[in-house]
Amino acid sequence: MIKRLPIVPEGLPIILTFSGLALFFYLLKLVPLYLPFFFLALITIYFFRDPERTHPAIPQAIISPADGRVIGLEKVYDESFFKKEVYCVSIFLSLFDVHINRSPYSGRVVNTEYRPGKFLPALWRKAAKLNEQNSILLSGDFGPLVIRQIAGFIARRIVCWVKPGDYLACGQKLGLIKFGSRVELLFPVVCEPYIKVGDKVRAGETIIAKFIA
């Protein structure tokens, strides 16, 4: 018995469309048209996969909000929420990474802020400032942090499943970005980072930093 669908619901219309077209052309014995849609269906299933994740049981830990590679770890001045210097961790999600975003730790959503913008390649540094993005301010027992979903050149659809007032458990799914993207995590400088540039991280599992008591 299947307890849960291992595919994000937002991906089902695309998967069913490609699968239906593949079946249609297969029945017509039009192999040159069947094969492209068959492989597109497989690629889409892989992209929208939804694996189980188990987060570390460490209350003061800040867990990665996304799968991918760390491309930035620096102190920046945040003008939107903190109004002071904070750590900023940038994670690049390739087409082959799981694209579901998860809550870095337990807390309540204080605010969300969507900002339209460009669709520059997510690896570019200026994409963090200019691209379409959605920010989520989360407040927990140890302090606030911000998760920023940033669209990329291919990713042109940010999905956010949470709203102000929602309580999120650590590792809980909060949204996704379709087809390649960037996620930034902002947290107080009193925290101790546990990762470095170049590290591969997994949403809901990898410890990014810890609040220092």
pLDDT in tens, 21-76: 999 998 998 888 889 999 999 988 888 888 888 888 898 999 999 999 999 999 99
Helix (H, G, I), strand (E, B) or coil at 95: coil
Task: Please classify residue 71 by burial: count the beta carbons closer than 10 Å to its beta carbon, then call 0-12 exposed, 13-18 middle and 19+ buried.
Answer: middle
Predicted model pTM: 0.86
Give per-residue pLDDT as tens, 155-186: 558 889 999 999 999 999 999 987 668 999 99
The percent of residues above 70 in pLDDT, for the chain, comes to 94
**Confidence band, pLDDT 50/70/90 cuts, at residue 1:** very low
Averaged pLDDT for residues 132-145:
94
- Which contacts (CB < 8 Å, 24+ apart) does range 13-16 have? 14/44, 14/48, 15/41, 15/44, 15/45, 15/48
Distances in Å between the Cα of 22 and the Cα atoms of 6, 18, 29, 199 are 22, 6, 10, 38
Catalytic annotation, residues: 181
**Tokens (6 digits) for 142:** 């140890």
Dist CA 188 CA 124 (whole Å): 24
Cα within 13 Å of Cα(151), Cβ side: 21
What pLDDT, on the 0 to 100 scale, is given for residue 125? 79
| % of the chain surpassing 90 pLDDT | 61
In angstroms, the CA 72 to CA 124 distance is: 11
Over range 134-143, report the average pLDDT. 94
E strand spans, 41-157: 61-63, 68-78, 84-93, 100-102, 107-115, 133-140, 143-151
CA-based radius of gyration for the chain: 18
